[in-house]
Amino acid sequence: MAIESFGFNAAIAKLYGFTAVVQKSKAGHAAQREAIMTLAQLMAPMTPHLAEDIWATQGGTGLIINAPWPVADEAMLVEDTVTLPIQINGKRRSEIAVPADMSKEEIEKLALADQAVIKALDGGSPKKLIVVPGRIVNVVV
């Protein structure tokens, strides 16, 4: 998306994120090499010289410009879990990881069981509890 709209800074930021994931990955050598080769292909429109160097170093054949563009596996793009920040009186104090399809009521229960929320409530109940599924939990004390 960022490339099509000429948002090169946004595209480079996404590639930095991809690089961080690859760096932290505990995947095997073959999987990491494949990820690096894909990274090089995604970099090529913005940084062609660097991408060609990575491509050659990793054993790519021919020029990177002639390699077929990587195809995303749609099944891998679906997130099973989502991390929701918990704000208490407008300040981020904690976060919870929940299934992406969890109901609002279940998210409320988990949020109220969080240690930071329990500490902030100090035995009382919240004035307001706002849950935006997939985005945020806001507790007003």
SS3 21: helix
Domain ranges, residue 105: 81-140
pTM for the model stands at 0.58
Report the pLDDT value the prediction gives residue 10, as an integer from 0 to 100. Answer: 86
Report the pLDDT value the prediction gives residue 4, as an integer from 0 to 100. Answer: 66
Q: Are residues 66 and 16 in the same domain?
A: yes
pLDDT in tens, the chain (141 residues): 556 666 788 888 899 999 999 999 999 999 999 999 999 999 998 899 999 999 999 999 999 999 999 888 888 888 889 999 999 999 999 999 999 999 999 999 999 999 999 999 998 889 999 999 889 999 998
Q: Are residues 12 and 68 in the same domain?
A: yes
Q: Are residues 87 and 67 in the same domain?
A: no
In a domain, 45, yes or no: yes
Report the pLDDT value the prediction gives residue 3, as an integer from 0 to 100. Answer: 61
Q: Are residues 58 and 98 in the same domain?
A: no
Report the pLDDT value the prediction gives residue 78, as an integer from 0 to 100. Answer: 83
The CATH number that applies at residue 91 is 3.10.20.590
Alpha helices, DSSP H only, in the chain? 8-24, 29-43, 48-57, 104-112, 115-121
34/67 Cα distance (integer angstroms): 13
Q: Which of 73, 98, 118 is the last residue of a domain?
A: 73
Report the pLDDT value the prediction gives residue 11, as an integer from 0 to 100. Answer: 85
In a domain, 3, yes or no: no
Using left for φ > 0, alpha for ψ between -120 and 50, and beta otherwise, residue 122 falls in left
Domain count, the chain: 2
Report the pLDDT value the prediction gives residue 114, as an integer from 0 to 100. Answer: 95
Q: Between helices 8-24 and 29-43, what is the axis angle to 10°?
A: 170
22/10 Cα distance (integer angstroms): 19
Contact 117, 100 (CB under 8 A): no
Q: Are residues 65 and 109 in the same domain?
A: no
Alpha carbon 87 to chain centroid, angstroms = 20
